[in-house]
Amino acid sequence: MKRKISVTINGIPHADEVEPRLLLIHYLREVAGLTGPHIGCETSICGACTVMLDGKAVKSCTMFAVQADGRSLLTIEGLAQNGALDPLQEAFWNEHALQCGYCTPGMIMTAKQLLADNPNPTEQEIRQGLEGNLCRCTGYQHIVNAVKSAAAKAGA
Amino acid sequence: MATIITRPETKFGKRVRRQEDPRLITGTATYVDDLKMPGMHHACIVRSPHGAAKIRNISTATAAAIPGVAAIFTGADIKNLGAVPCAASLPGLRVPHHHLLAQDRVYFVGHPVAVVVATDRYLARDAAEAIEVDYEPLPAVTDPEKAIAPGAPAVHPEWPDNVAFNFHQEGGDIAQAFRDADVVIKQRITSQRLIPTAMEARGVVAEWRAGEKSLTLYSSTQIPHLLRTLVAGILGMPENLLRVITPEVGGGFGSKLNVYAEEALMAFIARQINHPVKWVESRRENFAATTHGRGHVDYFELAAKRDGTMLGLKLKLIQDLGAYHQLLTPVIPTLSVLMMPGLYRFKNVSADIVGAFTNCVPTDAYRGAGRPEATHGVERMVDRLAAELKMDPAELRLKNFVQSHEFPYNTATGLAYDSGDYAKPLQKALAQVEYTKLRQEQEEARKTGKLMGIGISTYGEICAFGPSIALPAGGWESATVKIEPTGKVTVLTGASPHGQGEETTFAQIVADELGVEMNDVLVVHGDTAVVQYGIGTFGSRGTAVGGSALYCALQSLKEKLKKFGAMLLKSDNVTLVGGQCIDEKTGKSVGFGEMAVAAYHAKQLPPDTQPGLVATHFWEPPNFTFPFGAHIVVTDVDRDTGEVAIRRYVCVDDIGKIINPLIVDGQVHGGVAQGIGQALYEEAVYDDAGQLVTGELTDYALPKAHHMPYIESSHTETPSPVNPLGVKGVGEAGTIGCSPAVVNSVVDALAPLGVKHIDMPLTPEKIWKLIQQGAHA
C-alpha cells in the first residue's frame, strides 16, 4: 500500500506516493532524481548517503522516505547557491580532499554539520567528527585540511 | 600578425587543483548507479550461502509468479556461453572452467547461482529471496596451508591436492650463499587476505539495440577496452558491436581490473529480455564476490655474513588463490618473486610458489599486487637480521643498498632497475625524525617500562606496467590529441583513470607542450566507441605510460603545427614557443588559433601535409620504472590495552619527476592509509566451514579519519630514464612502503619482551596477549 508524502528538497516541494519500505536514499535518487548522495553500504557505516534533514546530518540509507514526510531536506545538489560553491565545496576542491569522489557528497554534508556544531574545531575534533564517513582514497588528511581551511575562512 | 610572444608559466610541477572536481563536489557526476533508461529492468543475483556444496535443485516457480518479475536465469541457461577469463599463462597451470553461473556445485560463499530480473530494484530482491536452492553442503577448506596438506577437502574434485600450479625462479647460487653464511634467519610471515573496498561497489548497465544488433555495456571498471574484447568473446559477438562505457568510477584499487561474470551476464540478459538491465552490487556482495587481495603465507630464509652483508634470500610462498582464477589471479604472486631483492644487493635468490585453491572468493590485484607482500617480507627479514646482529636497522640497510653508480642494476630476479639513489630518501627521513635523538628517547622510555617503537622500511617497487612482454594483453598505452578548429584541445587516453586525476595532469602536460590554457583541454577516457584501443589504469601506469603516449602524440602534432606556422609566415625557419610559431629571422609570429583554423580550412596546405590536427601515439615502454623510498614510523604501544598509537609517520618517496605535487600527496596519503589498514586493522576472515565472517563493513575494520596519523610526506626526485616525462608512478608507493614500517615499529616497541615477529593485522588483542606472555616470560 503506497503512502503519500510531501517533502521539501533543496527548497523545492515534492509530493509523491511511495511504498512504506522505500529507503530515503532510494527516494532521493530514484524518485526525486537526485543522484548526488551515494549508496556505499546500506548499513549506515560508510556515510556516502549523508544528507541534511531539518538541518541535521542523517544517513539516508537508514531512514524510510515516509519518515521524512513533512520535513525539509538538503542534498549536495542544493549546497551551492546561485552558482556559487559553498565554502566547504570550495575548500574540498582547493585542498584536493577527494579522488574518486564517491564519498565526497556525504563527507561534505557531515563536515557541514561538524562546523555548525563546532565552528572552530581542532584537528582531533575534525577527525572524530568525520568518523561516520569512510573514504578509501585520500587517507583523510586532505579532507581534514579542507575542513580546517573552511573553518578558518568562516572565522576570518 | 602579432609580434608579442607570451611564454605561459609551465604547469609541470605545480600544485594545480583538479579539473575533474567541480562535478564531483556538486553531486553532478554520473556513476553507473546514476544511469536511468526507459524500460530499464533491475537484476538481483542469488548467491551461494555455502563455501562448498552440491546443488540438488533450484526452484524458481514462486519467484517467477511475482508480478513484475521478467526473467530468471540459472546455470543451465548460460552453460554454452564462454567462461570468466583468466589471462595468466604459467607452465602447468590448472584452470577450472569458470562458468558465469554455478552449474551443479558451488565453490565459495557468494558464488553466483541465479539471476532474477524485475521491473524494480526492490521487486528483484524480493524475487531473489523467493528462489529456493536445495544444497547439499560439503566440507570446505579456506586456509591455503591446510588446503595443500594431505587429506584436505578438494576444492575442485578433479584436483584433490588443491594445487593450481608450482612455480620456481632462482638467480645466482643460492646453495653457495647459504654455505657462506655466518647467520641464517628463518621466519614465517603472512600477508593476510584483504578486501579492496572501493567506496563504489561494482555496477553494470547493459543496453541491447536490437535493430543494430549492438550492445552498450556501462561498467565500473579500470579496463574498458579489455573488458570489451573479453566480454565479446564470452558472448560470441563481434567486438565492434559491443561498446563499453566507463562512467565515473568510485575507486578500484585493482578490484575493478578484471572481467567479472556479472558484466557478461548483464550483457547476455539485456539481449535476452530486449530491455536495458541494471545490476548494482550491495556491499555484502562486494565483500563476498569481488576479488580480494594478498593472501600469502611466506617462509623466508635470509643468509648473511656477521658484518651484515646480505648474501641470499629464499622464499617458499603459498598463495591463497580462492576457488577460481580471475583475470590475473595466478600472476600476482610472481610479481612478489620479482620484487624479492628489494633495494638490496642480493646476488642469490630462490623462490618457490605453490598456488593453492581454497573455498574462498578469488584473490587478484589489490593496490600493490604482489609487491607489498614481497616488501613486507623482505623488510621484516632485514629487521630480524638487524636484531640478530645487534646492528642498527638503518645502518644495515645503508650497507646493503644497491649504490647510485650501479644503475641500470640487474637483479638476481632478472629485472633492470632503471635509476635510483636509495640512501637519499632514507637519510632524509632519518634527519626529519631526528633518528639519533629518537633512539635516545627510546632508551630512556624503556627504562621506565614504556613500549616505544621506531620502524623503518626502505622499499622498491615495480611500476608503470608494461613493457608488453610482461603483460598478457600488451603493456603499451595510447593517446590521441586533437586540436579542434577553435583551438580547443581534446585528448583521448586509453588509460582509464578513476580518481587518479589524469584529467588534470594530462591537461598540465598539454598546456606546457602547446601553450594553451589548461581549461581549454578536455581529457576524454572510458568509452570504447570514442577512444582508440587502450589498456587501462593499474600498476601505477596511468601517467608513466599513458602520459608518455600523450607526450609523444603532442610532439608529432607540434611538428605538424610548425609546418602550418611556416606556411603562414612564409618562412623555412620557425620555432614553436608557448603555442605560437615564430619566424627566427623576422621575429614575426602566428598564434595557435590561426594555425588551427588554417589546418581545418585547408585553403592552402604545406607540402605533403594532410588537413586537420590530430595525432595518435601508441607508446611502448622499454622497461618498468622502479620507484623507491623510506618510511619511518614511531609508535607507542599501550601496555594495558595492546593498542598501537602512531606518533609520527614520515615518508620520503622517490617517484621520479612530479607533475602535480597536490595529486601526488593525495596518492601517497591514500596509499599509506591502505597500508595502515593492512598493518593494524583489516583482515578478511573465513571460518573453517567457508563462511565469510567479515561480510560487511560492520565486521571489516576500514581505517577511519581518527585512526590515521598525520602523514609527513616529502620526496627526492630521481628521474626515470625509461620514459620521456621522467616519471615513475605513485599509485602504490604509499601502500608498499607502509605496512613493514608499521610492523617493524611495533615489533621494535615489543623487542624488550622478546618479540621478534607479529603477523598482521596488529590488533590490540594480539598485542595484549604478547605483552602478557612477555611479562610472564
A125 C-beta neighbours (distance < 10 Å), count: 15
Q: What is the pLDDT of residues B711-738, one digit of tens each?
A: 999 999 999 999 999 999 999 999 999 9
Q: Do B21 and A141 touch (CB under 8 A)?
A: no
Radius of gyration of chain A (CA): 15
Whole-Å CA distances, B757 to B92, B190, B318, B578, B748:
35, 11, 19, 57, 9
Q: Do B199 and A100 touch (CB under 8 A)?
A: yes
Helix (H/G/I), strand (E/B), else coil: B661: helix
- Residues of chain B with pLDDT > 90, as a percent, come to 97
Return d(Cα B357, Cα B122) in angstroms, integer.
36
Residues of A whose CB is below 8 A from B710: 123, 141
The mean pLDDT of B613-627, rounded to a whole number, is 98
The mean pLDDT of B194-207, rounded to a whole number, is 98
Strands B53-59 and B203-209: unpaired
Residues of B whose CB is below 8 A from A126: 705
| Contacts of residue B695, Cβ cutoff 8 Å, sequence gap at least 6 | B284, B287, B288
The mean pLDDT of B395-418, rounded to a whole number, is 98
Strands B310-322 and B296-304: antiparallel
- pLDDT of residue B7 exceeding 70: no
Residues of B whose CB is below 8 A from A103: 199
Q: Which of B593, B595, B520, B590 is nearest to B5 (CA)?
A: B590
For residues B649, B655, B656 and B658, what is the CA-based torsion angle, rounded to 10 degrees? Answer: -80
Distance from CA of A113 to the nearest CA of B (A): 16
Residues of A whose CB is below 8 A from B283: 40-43, 46
Residues of A whose CB is below 8 A from B698: 43, 45
Chain A interface includes B434 (CB < 8 A): no
For helices B423-433 and B435-447, what crossing angle results, to 10°?
A: 50
Distance from CA of A46 to the nearest CA of B (A): 8
Q: What is the pLDDT of residues B732-770, one digit of tens each?
A: 999 999 999 999 999 999 999 999 999 999 999 999 999
Q: Best of B199, B500, B650, B708 to disrupt the A interface by mutation (most A CBs within 10 Å)?
A: B199
Q: Do B669 and A38 touch (CB under 8 A)?
A: no
Amino acid at B673: A
CB of A18 within 8 A of CB of A65?
Answer: yes
Q: Which of B560, B559, B543 is nearest to B497 (CA)?
A: B543
pLDDT value at position B1? 46
Residue with cell 576570518: A156
Chain A interface includes B149 (CB < 8 A): no
Q: What is the pTM of this model?
A: 0.97
Residue with cell 620520503: B652
Chain B interface includes A35 (CB < 8 A): yes
| Closest chain A residue to B283, measured at CA | A41
CB of B130 within 8 A of CB of B123?
Answer: no
Distance from CA of A156 to the nearest CA of B (A): 23
Return d(Cα B433, Cα B118) in angstroms, integer.
59
Q: What is the pLDDT of residues B464-500, one digit of tens each?
A: 998 999 888 899 999 999 999 999 999 999 999 999 9
Q: Do A34 and B27 touch (CB under 8 A)?
A: yes
Return mean pLDDT, chain B: 97
| Closest chain A residue to B501, measured at CA | A99
Residues written for chain A: 156
pLDDT class of B5 with cuts at 50, 70, 90: low
Residue with cell 612477555: B774
Chain B interface includes A123 (CB < 8 A): yes
Return d(Cα B128, Cα B120) in angstroms, integer.
12
Q: Which of B621, B473, B617, B460 is nearest to B544 (CA)?
A: B621
Q: Best of A92, A95, A99, A130 to disrupt the B interface by mutation (most B CBs within 10 Å)?
A: A99
Amino acid at B423: A
| Contacts of residue B242, Cβ cutoff 8 Å, sequence gap at least 6 | B214, B215, B216, B217, B228, B231, B232, B235, B267, B528
Q: What is the pLDDT of residues B585-596, one digit of tens each?
A: 999 999 999 999
Q: What is the pLDDT of residues B335-393, one digit of tens each?
A: 999 999 999 999 999 999 999 999 999 999 999 999 999 999 999 999 999 999 999 99
Whole-Å CA distances, B223 to A105, B247, B421:
26, 12, 34
Chain A interface includes B195 (CB < 8 A): no
Using a 10 angstrom Cβ sphere, with 0-12 exposed, 13-18 middle and 19 or more buried, the burial of residue B373 is buried
CB of B137 within 8 A of CB of B354?
Answer: no
Please name the member of B27, B670, B704 whose beta carbon is closest to the beta carbon of A137: B670
Q: Do B33 and A29 touch (CB under 8 A)?
A: yes
Residues of B whose CB is below 8 A from A43: 283, 696-698
Whole-Å CA distances, B669 to B155, B330, B737:
39, 29, 12
Residues of B whose CB is below 8 A from A144: 705
Chain B, residues 708-727, CB within 8 A of chain A, namely 708, 710-711
- pLDDT of residue B777 exceeding 80: no
Q: What is the pLDDT of residues B255-314, one digit of tens each?
A: 999 999 999 999 999 999 999 999 999 999 999 999 999 999 999 999 999 999 999 999
Return d(Cα A92, Cα A96) in angstroms, integer.
6
| Contacts of residue B157, Cβ cutoff 8 Å, sequence gap at least 6 | none
Q: Which of B231, B292, B241 is nearest to B83 (CA)?
A: B231
How many A-B residue pairs are in contact by the CB < 8 A criterion? 174
Q: Number of helices and strands (H, E) in chain A?
A: 5, 5
Residue with cell 641500470: B408
pLDDT value at position A87? 97
Q: Best of A103, A136, A142 to disrupt the B interface by mutation (most B CBs within 10 Å)?
A: A136
Chain A, residues 9-28, CB within 8 A of chain B, namely 19, 21-22, 26
Chain B, residues 491-510, CB within 8 A of chain A, namely 498-501
Q: Do A76 and B251 touch (CB under 8 A)?
A: no
| Closest chain B residue to A36, measured at CA | B27
Residues of A whose CB is below 8 A from B33: 29, 35, 38-39
Ramachandran region of residue B49, left (φ > 0), alpha (ψ -120 to 50) or beta?
alpha
- pLDDT of residue A1 exceeding 90: no
Residues of A whose CB is below 8 A from B500: 99
Q: What is the pLDDT of residues B16-75, one digit of tens each?
A: 999 999 999 999 999 999 999 999 999 999 999 999 999 999 999 999 999 999 999 999
What cell was used for B421? 639513489
Chain A, residues 52-71, CB within 8 A of chain B, namely none
Q: Do B21 and A93 touch (CB under 8 A)?
A: yes
Chain A, residues 87-116, CB within 8 A of chain B, namely 89, 92-94, 96, 98-105, 108
Chain B interface includes A39 (CB < 8 A): yes
